[in-house]
Amino acid sequence: MVKRNPNIGRLKAGYLFPEISRRRREFAARHPEAKIISMGVGNTTEPIPPHICAALVGGARRLGRAETYSGYADEGLIELREAISRVNYNGAFGPEEVFISDGSKCDIGRLQTLFGPEAKAAVQDPSYPVYVDGSVVAGAAGRENSFSGCEDGDCGGGGYGGVKYLPCTPENNYFPDLSRIEDGSIIYFCSPNNPTGAVATKPQLAALVSAALRTGSIIVYDAAYSEYIRDAALPKTIYELDGARKCAIEVNSFSKSAGFTGVRLGWSVVPRDLVFSGGGSVNADWSRLTATVFNGASNIAQYGGIAALDEEGRREVRELTDFYLGNARLIRGALKTLNIGCIGGDNSPYIWARFPGRDSWDVFAELLEKYHVVTTPGSGFGPAGETFIRFSAFGRRADVEEVCGRLTAH
């Protein structure tokens, strides 16, 4: 018999979203008359805008003609890599530093293979689950605690040896204490943040880059929600900061900007300046790894991506993200009426609501029972998420209005 990978067994019970679905189904079985509305997940709901969608159709048609047919595109179509560099990074990267992928979650998983089982992870707490769970699958949980800070019980509820949690709470304005980062860590940092909706300022990111350079760490900067930033003073990419190309990889995608959650298209930037402790090139290893375990993103999707980055596509992305930010405004307004403290929703599609002293699964259950609304319990994102609830602005407008009406009518 084949032995089970012990690291899979080390994952904490039930991935968050299947557990939420289970509870929703159980409630629906008890209350078949209830119209349940979900404000829990980060899945997009609005159609792909026409110009970008036409490019996807055009991409499919190209495959049906001998003159335009294409097969594997390896690290991605050169036009797309150049457009990403030009539009998102002022042309600061050559195409060989931009790798096209099937999404940022997939890239994060592959990056964890790149760094291997000995890598120490430092994660914002709360955080998007793949940073911790992917590190555990890669082997981080199987080791003895390697962090000096773990004796105080802060290395994660249950103690994943190779994963250091960096609490982000109202007390530190949702920005972690960087002095806790150990030498040679992989620092997962997400801004705008899922789940808190907090966006790091330029001075905060400058401090993060300094901490990474000081400790010889690599930042995996997840900018999946960068298109939601409206405040011009807030950085949209880690590469706005001096020194970042020596210590940071950035992942991003078209999922939340162009509605490509089901299309699947993303990218990673791995600068040539980034090196491992022995001096080896991270870019060269990433190129080798992606060529080994990944055969490139769909070329249909890539034509859609190119269109999302031209003038008309940029206008459509702006309109689409404005729509979800409009939902976020409504949710914030309803929470304000109820005197529930929250952050996020202004430069991000997530609103992080505070329920001091409450267990977040209890608040989740109460919102489901009383208002028939599905949310996400904060504790599912890490120990510091306890007492919080995440509201997602991804939803149809009529549903958001109905939820806000239900919440404020009581």
Interface residues with ligand PLP (CB under 6 A)?
42, 103-106, 128, 190, 194, 222, 224, 253, 255, 261, 266
The residue assigned the tokens 């690290």 is 75
Cα angle: 378, vertex 382, 110; to 5 degrees: 115
Nearer to ligand PLP, 176 or 266 (CB): 266
Smallest distance from the beta carbon of 350 to ligand PLP, in angstroms? 8
Secondary structure of residue 222 in the 3-state scheme: strand
Smallest distance from the beta carbon of 410 to ligand PLP, in angstroms? 30
Smallest distance from the beta carbon of 261 to ligand PLP, in angstroms? 5
User: What is the token pair recorded at 77?
Assistant: 């179509």
Cα separation, 115 vs 181, in Å, equals 17
Cα separation, 204 vs 237, in Å, equals 13
Contacts of 390 (CB under 8 A, 6+ apart): 40, 195, 350, 351, 352, 353, 375, 376, 377, 378, 381
Q: How many CB atoms lie within 10 A of CB 172?
A: 12
Nearer to ligand PLP, 188 or 371 (CB): 188
Give the strand pairing for 266-269 and 342-344: unpaired
Nearer to ligand PLP, 222 or 316 (CB): 222
Smallest distance from the beta carbon of 124 to ligand PLP, in angstroms? 10
Question: Euclidean distance between the first and final Cα of the chain, in Å?
Answer: 57
Nearer to ligand PLP, 264 or 272 (CB): 264
Nearer to ligand PLP, 75 or 222 (CB): 222
Smallest distance from the beta carbon of 232 to ligand PLP, in angstroms? 22
Residue 201 β-bridge partners: none
* Number of Cα atoms under 13 Å in the Cβ half of residue 284: 6
Smallest distance from the beta carbon of 222 to ligand PLP, in angstroms? 5
Cα 303 to Cα 50, 105, 268, 309, distances in angstroms: 13, 21, 18, 10
Cα separation, 192 vs 227, in Å, equals 9
Q: Which of 208, 190, 209, 206 is nearest to 198 (CA)?
A: 190
Smallest distance from the beta carbon of 301 to ligand PLP, in angstroms? 11
* Number of Cα atoms under 13 Å in the Cβ half of residue 77: 20
The residue assigned the tokens 């890239």 is 107
User: What is the token pair recorded at 144?
Assistant: 């003895």
Smallest distance from the beta carbon of 365 to ligand PLP, in angstroms? 23
Nearer to ligand PLP, 104 or 217 (CB): 104
Nearer to ligand PLP, 301 or 407 (CB): 301
Smallest distance from the beta carbon of 104 to ligand PLP, in angstroms? 4
Give the H/E segment covering residue 189: strand 185-190
Nearer to ligand PLP, 185 or 252 (CB): 252
Cα separation, 52 vs 98, in Å, equals 21
Nearer to ligand PLP, 150 or 393 (CB): 393
Smallest distance from the beta carbon of 183 to ligand PLP, in angstroms? 26
- CB of 182 closer than 8 Å to CB of 120: yes
Nearer to ligand PLP, 222 or 346 (CB): 222
